[in-house]
Amino acid sequence: MKKVLVVGKQNAGKTTFVRNISESTFAGTDVPVLDLKELKETGETTTVGVEVNFYKDIAFYGLPGQRRFSFLWETFAKSFDGIVFLHPSFSPPEEIDYIYSFFSKFPSFQKSYKMLIFTYPEKMDYAVVNRIISVYDLPYTYLNPNDRSKLLKVLEVIENNLMDREDVVAL
């Protein structure tokens, strides 16, 4: 069983990505977001634990986007075969810079399959996307993770790139 981490900032689309692999096998940990001024729910949700789903023999782990849950990133970063960075096409790069530097410190990172996925393709900011592509030099694509047929194509690419890699050994 291969292990792929799905990381990225809050609202990048990680839960949507992991859930749409297959609704029936999804295990999630979202809770409603509270507006602390109004003391009412905003109608949005955020992930407060780790979510998981399976595509063939690959386990996808969606990690929470908020930095206050980065103790969970730590645990899951100990061993992985692939890492998918989701980033909204219009968001300044600070958060992906932070997340990339966090995960790149772990021994699994170097040999892992890495991919950049720009979400919200309809809101694309070329300056942002070009800056990120040029800094990280990783395979990348655009995807609204609500678009399941495109998501399945992306999963196939990830699977093909993971196949001929050795399983990672936890250190």
Q: Out of 3, 5, 11, 21, name the contact with ligand GTP by CB under 6 A.
A: 11
Q: What whole-number distance in Å separates Cα of residue 103 and Cα of residue 2?
A: 17
Does 73 contact ligand GTP by CB under 6 A?
A: no
Please check whether residue 13 is in contact with residue 86, taking contact to mean a CB–CB distance below 8 angstroms.
Answer: yes
Does 11 contact Mg ion by CB under 5 A?
A: no
CB-nearest residue to ligand GTP: 65
The number of residues that bind ligand GTP (CB under 6 A) is 18
Please, what is the minimum distance in Å from the beta carbon of residue 145 to ligand GTP?
A: 5
Q: Report the side by side order of strands in the sheet with 51-55.
A: 51-55, 58-62, 2-8, 82-88, 113-119, 140-142
Q: What whole-number distance in Å separates Cα of residue 13 and Cα of residue 19?
A: 10
What is the binding site for ligand GTP (CB under 6 A)?
Answer: 8, 10-16, 45-47, 64-65, 119-120, 144-146
